[in-house]
Amino acid sequence: MDQEKLDHMRSVLNKLEDIKNTQESLIDKINHVITDLFQHPDKDLEKIMEDAHQKASDNIDAIREAMEDYEMSINKLENQD
pLDDT digit string (tens) for the chain, length 81 residues: 689 999 999 999 999 999 999 999 999 999 999 999 999 999 999 999 999 999 999 999 999 999 999 999 999 999 985
- Rounded alpha-carbon distances, angstroms, from residue 17 to 3, 24, 41, 77: 21, 11, 35, 20
d(CA 32, CA 43): 16
Structural domains of the chain, count: 1
What range defines the domain where residue 8 resides? 3-78
d(CA 72, CA 40): 47
Q: Can you give the pLDDT at residue 81?
A: 57
d(CA 15, CA 25): 15
d(CA 3, CA 45): 49
What global pTM score does this model have?
A: 0.85
Q: Can you give the pLDDT at residue 80?
A: 85
